């Protein structure tokens, strides 16, 4: 037997592939029971496994596949018609073959399991249906039109059917994959012959070491390029080596890529099984199965996606009767779509089911104490849905009658975020739910921005970088706010910033406040700025072949964008959570890659929702980030950050009184000023001449400036808003930084401000 080891391994690998093919073919056959080519393909596959098992002396496997082949032969000859019982038995056979193959793989022998009963069932099923009158013309020659969707259920004789799932009305069907060449179009004679001829199996470790070596070669190439020479022959050689190295690197990277098909392939069977078990009718549509991503990522997304797919069938799509009652087609539609989008792979799992009952989620969130009832009542639906990602949010029987829709969604989110991806979910009642998973193409080679800070250099994943802003002391962009609440204003938004030198302890106080560069990054819901000394310029390190150097960030020098090879830094340093790896630049220097999510966690920056055109009232509810100020009279108030246009400091004497209104002038611009204390109904000292800060609100709030004594912080609220009772100008009270803070009622302010303008 040992002599055969190599052949047996080949047989096992091949059989695994054959079994996957069988799953796909059977599902397709269920949809079109009279497809002779599909039936022939199934027959051939089973026959191959049978032949091989005979050759290696696997008798159980031989006996089982023999019975299966017999059953398939009757189907092929039109002696038997496909029904739920037949397909159920065939699926059982595939599963049994799979378990034997697995046993052989693990132990070298077929194992103790007894499949004789299943063989008998296969034989018994094969003998059914002989009396069917329409069986005379073989369906292979004359397909029945229209294809019957509901096969007549034949009363089964008294044969033990323990292994067969009970006949279900559920039919899982797979529509043709539009992007991939559809198997039925292939000539029936040669199944997948070309594929086997043009590909070989290569050890993954070997591919990894090739990639490492190519990385070394790239470094050597970069050094070579930096040699100054006037010798035309040498120049020519360097140029050729340069070109070849680029192509080689590209090709080496491609060897890591696999089509997402490798994950999607399993889903027709998953959907079919879950649909049958839950009594659903589901049509699975797969789009973009040829989308490629790194094979290590393929493994990482397999489980989360499987979970999402199962969830969609189990909890998303309603039972057929309920769908009909709701005026929808009986058969639910599950769309699985993958595509490349701005350097990432997006995978959508979309069902046309009942959607997630938002009110139930809202109630659950309150019941679990995640949010208080008053705040929950005003939270927009899309935000309520995010509670589904809370750990253990729904374990069973809470959201729907079957079980919680949110089962394990926190695990999905954790897994996807673990590989640098994101998950978001949207749902419309009665219309269905879409879960969108975004993952990077690869974790191994990424475009990155290299920045300088003090004496060090750091790399930032370019996918997160939005833009660069150069700070200028002379009236250009600058850091505003006071210590502890540094922000930069970007097109009307206030974005919190982190001084990298301070954060990393490279300098006791930052040296970049006046003339550094702010790298604006976006991580999940957060946008923040990282203040660095500058981006790296010149030198041989910039990789001119960077594919996306030109369009991504227009304001930065292309030289500072590099394609870097991400290398692990060892568990000791990875645990710190602020570096995701390191890389070696063209000049041979080692550079740490910043983990932006880690910086976000360490600094605990508040989320910044994307700016929309919501009414002021919604802005108050939606925002998570508040500007905290002290009024002149000493009250602690908060203003939603996304209503703030800018912060100014001015002297009390700069105020000009015009027609009973107070204005402050900045160039040609007059801003109406309202004292925060006046809004709150407290009396402020009118003759105050000390320095005053002005919080200028945007047009939705009348563009007015609110005068306060001091800007304290930009932070998220720690507690829910307690609506205020009869306190003028105050929308409510909550805790920020552990201290009770009043939220300014901007909605009440707007009419007041309007009268000013």
- Catalog residues that contact other proteins under the rule CB under 8 A: 212-213, 215-216, 370-371, 375, 456, 503-506, 567-573, 575-579, 581-582, 584, 588-592, 601-604, 606-607, 624, 715-720, 736-738
Phi and psi angles of residue 418, each rounded to the nearest 5 degrees, phi first:
-60, -25
Instruction: Kindly state the smallest distance separating residue 579's Cβ from other proteins, in Å.
Output: 7
Phi and psi angles of residue 578, each rounded to the nearest 5 degrees, phi first:
-115, -5
Q: In this structure, are residues 704 and 756 in contact, taking their beta carbons and an 8 Å threshold?
A: yes
CB-based burial label for 497 (10 Å; 0-12, 13-18, 19+): buried
Q: In this structure, are residues 496 and 606 in contact, taking their beta carbons and an 8 Å threshold?
A: yes
Instruction: Kindly state the smallest distance separating residue 243's Cβ from other proteins, in Å.
Output: 23
Measured from the CB atom, the residue of 701 and 715 that comes closer to other proteins is: 715
Measured from the CB atom, the residue of 71 and 565 that comes closer to other proteins is: 565
Kindly tell me the sign of the dihedral angle through the C-alpha atoms of 612, 616, 622, 628: positive
Measured from the CB atom, the residue of 322 and 576 that comes closer to other proteins is: 576
CB-based burial label for 218 (10 Å; 0-12, 13-18, 19+): buried
Alpha helices in 477-608 (DSSP H): 500-503, 571-574, 596-603
Burial 424-439 (b: 16+ CB within 10 A, else e): bbebeeeebbbbebbb
Q: In this structure, are residues 482 and 711 in contact, taking their beta carbons and an 8 Å threshold?
A: yes
Q: In this structure, are residues 113 and 103 in contact, taking their beta carbons and an 8 Å threshold?
A: yes
Measured from the CB atom, the residue of 215 and 729 that comes closer to other proteins is: 215
Instruction: Kindly state the smallest distance separating residue 577's Cβ from other proteins, in Å.
Output: 7
DSSP 707-737: EESEEEEEEEBSS--EE-SS-TTEEEEEEET
Whole-number Å distance between alpha carbons of 74 and 58: 25
Measured from the CB atom, the residue of 556 and 715 that comes closer to other proteins is: 715
Q: How far, CA to CA in Å, does 7 sit from each of 1, 15, 198, 205?
A: 10, 12, 20, 22
Measured from the CB atom, the residue of 572 and 657 that comes closer to other proteins is: 572
Measured from the CB atom, the residue of 567 and 662 that comes closer to other proteins is: 567
Q: How far, CA to CA in Å, does 333 sit from each of 183, 304, 421, 530?
A: 22, 20, 26, 44
Instruction: Kindly state the smallest distance separating residue 730's Cβ from other proteins, in Å.
Output: 20
The H or E element that residue 260 is part of is none
Q: In this structure, are residues 310 and 323 in contact, taking their beta carbons and an 8 Å threshold?
A: no
Instruction: Kindly state the smallest distance separating residue 624's Cβ from other proteins, in Å.
Output: 6
CB-based burial label for 114 (10 Å; 0-12, 13-18, 19+): exposed
CB atoms within 10 A of CB 553: 21
Instruction: Kindly state the smallest distance separating residue 601's Cβ from other proteins, in Å.
Output: 6
Q: How far, CA to CA in Å, does 45 sit from each of 23, 190, 228, 696?
A: 11, 12, 62, 73
For the chain, state the CA radius of gyration: 33
Measured from the CB atom, the residue of 157 and 738 that comes closer to other proteins is: 738
Measured from the CB atom, the residue of 715 and 750 that comes closer to other proteins is: 715
Whole-number Å distance between alpha carbons of 487 and 500: 14
Whole-number Å distance between alpha carbons of 730 and 639: 11
Whole-number Å distance between alpha carbons of 85 and 168: 9
Measured from the CB atom, the residue of 437 and 523 that comes closer to other proteins is: 523
Instruction: Kindly state the smallest distance separating residue 362's Cβ from other proteins, in Å.
Output: 13
Counts for the chain of helices (H) and strands (E), in that order:
22, 32
Burial 148-184 (b: 16+ CB within 10 A, else e): eeebeebeeeeeebebbbebbbbbbbbbebebeeebe
Instruction: Kindly state the smallest distance separating residue 567's Cβ from other proteins, in Å.
Output: 5
Measured from the CB atom, the residue of 97 and 485 that comes closer to other proteins is: 485
Instruction: Kindly state the smallest distance separating residue 718's Cβ from other proteins, in Å.
Output: 4
Instruction: Kindly state the smallest distance separating residue 502's Cβ from other proteins, in Å.
Output: 10
Instruction: Kindly state the smallest distance separating residue 715's Cβ from other proteins, in Å.
Output: 5
Measured from the CB atom, the residue of 338 and 593 that comes closer to other proteins is: 593
Instruction: Kindly state the smallest distance separating residue 464's Cβ from other proteins, in Å.
Output: 20
Measured from the CB atom, the residue of 375 and 552 that comes closer to other proteins is: 375
Instruction: Kindly state the smallest distance separating residue 484's Cβ from other proteins, in Å.
Output: 9
Instruction: Kindly state the smallest distance separating residue 237's Cβ from other proteins, in Å.
Output: 24
Instruction: Kindly state the smallest distance separating residue 571's Cβ from other proteins, in Å.
Output: 6
Strand, coil or helix: what is 88?
Answer: helix
Longest CA pairwise span in the chain (Å): 105
Kindly tell me the sign of the dihedral angle through the C-alpha atoms of 82, 83, 89, 90: positive
């Amino acid at each position: 037997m040992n002599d055969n080891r190599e052949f047996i391994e080949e047989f096992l690998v091949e059989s695994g592939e054959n079994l996957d093919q069988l799953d796909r073919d059977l599902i397709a056959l269920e949809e079109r029971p009279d497809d002779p080519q599909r039936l022939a393909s199934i027959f051939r596959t089973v026959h191959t496994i049978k032949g091989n098992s005979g050759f290696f002396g696997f008798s159980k496997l031989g006996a089982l596949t023999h019975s299966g082949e017999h059953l398939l032969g009757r189907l092929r000859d039109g002696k038997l018609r496909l029904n739920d019982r037949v397909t159920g038995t065939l699926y059982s056979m595939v599963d049994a073959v799979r378990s034997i193959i697995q046993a052989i793989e693990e132990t070298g022998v077929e194992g103790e399991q007894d499949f004789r009963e299943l063989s008998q069932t296969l034989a018994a099923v094969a003998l059914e249906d002989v009396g069917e009158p329409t069986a005379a013309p073989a369906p292979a020659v004359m397909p029945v039109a229209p294809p019957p969707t509901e096969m007549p259920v034949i009363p089964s004789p008294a044969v033990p059917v323990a292994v067969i799932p009970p006949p279900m009305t559920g039919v899982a069907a797979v529509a043709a994959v539009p992007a991939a060449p559809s198997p039925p179009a292939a000539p029936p004679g040669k199944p997948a012959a070309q594929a086997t001829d043009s590909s070989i199996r290569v050890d993954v470790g070997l591919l990894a070491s090739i990639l490492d070596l190519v990385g070394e070669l790239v470094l050597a190439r970069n050094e070579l390029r930096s040699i100054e020479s006037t010798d035309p022959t040498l120049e020519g050689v360097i140029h050729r080596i340069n070109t070849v190295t680029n192509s080689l690197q590209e090709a080496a990277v491609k060897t890591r890529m696999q089509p997402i098909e490798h994950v999607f392939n399993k889903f027709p069977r998953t959907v079919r099984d879950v649909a049958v078990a839950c009594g659903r009718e589901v049509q699975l549509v797969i789009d973009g199965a040829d989308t490629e991503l790194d094979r290590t990522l393929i493994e990482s997304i397999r489980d989360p996606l499987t979970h999402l797919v199962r969830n969609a069938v189990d909890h998303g799509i309603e039972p057929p009767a309920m769908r009909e009652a709701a005026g929808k087609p009986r058969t639910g539609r599950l769309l699985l779509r993958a595509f490349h989008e701005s350097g990432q792979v997006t995978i959508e799992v979309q069902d046309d089911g009942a959607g997630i009952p938002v009110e139930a989620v809202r109630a659950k969130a309150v019941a679990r104490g995640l949010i208080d009832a008053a705040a929950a009542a005003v939270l927009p639906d899309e935000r309520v849905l995010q509670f589904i990602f809370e750990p253990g949010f729904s374990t069973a029987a809470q959201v729907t009658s079957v079980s919680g829709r949110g089962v394990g969604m926190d695990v999905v989110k954790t897994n996807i975020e673990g590989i640098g991806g994101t998950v978001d979910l949207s749902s419309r009642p009665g219309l269905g739910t879409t879960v969108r998973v975004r993952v990077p193409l690869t974790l191994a080679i990424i475009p990155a921005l290299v920045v300088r800070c003090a004496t060090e250099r750091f790399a930032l994943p370019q996918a997160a970088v939005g833009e660069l802003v150069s700070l200028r002391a002379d009236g250009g962009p600058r850091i505003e706010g006071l210590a502890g609440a540094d922000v930069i204003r970007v097109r009307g938004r206030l974005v919190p910033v982190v001084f990298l030198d301070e954060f990393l302890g490279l300098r006791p106080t930052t040296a970049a406040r006046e003339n550094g560069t702010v790298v604006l990054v976006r991580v999940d819901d957060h946008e923040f700025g990282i203040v660095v000394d500058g981006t790296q310029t010149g030198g041989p390190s910039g990789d001119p072949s960077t594919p996306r150097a030109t369009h991504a960030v227009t304001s930065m020098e292309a030289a500072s964008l590099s394609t870097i090879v991400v290398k692990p830094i060892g568990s000791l340093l990875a645990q710190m959570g602020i570096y995701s790896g390191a890389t070696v630049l063209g000049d041979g220097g080692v550079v740490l890659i910043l983990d932006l999510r880690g910086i976000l966690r360490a600094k605990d920056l508040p989320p910044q929702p994307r700016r929309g055109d919501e009414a002021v009232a919604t802005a108050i509810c939606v925002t998570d980030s508040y500007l905290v100020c002290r009024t002149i009279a000493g009250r602690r108030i908060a203003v939603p950050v996304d209503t703030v246009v800018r912060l100014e400091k001015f002297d009390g004497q700069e105020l000009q009184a015009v027609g009973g209104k107070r204005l402050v002038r900045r160039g040609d611009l007059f801003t109406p000023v309202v004292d925060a204390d006046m809004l709150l109904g407290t009396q402020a000292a009118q003759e105050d001449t000390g320095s005053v800060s002005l919080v200028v609100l945007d047009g939705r709030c009348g563009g007015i400036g609110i005068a306060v004594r001091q800007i304290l912080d930009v932070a998220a609220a720690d507690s829910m808003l307690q609506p205020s009772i009869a306190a003028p100008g105050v929308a409510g009270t909550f805790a920020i930084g552990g201290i009770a803070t009043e939220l300014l009622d901007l909605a009440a302010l707007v009419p007041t401000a309007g009268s000013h303008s």
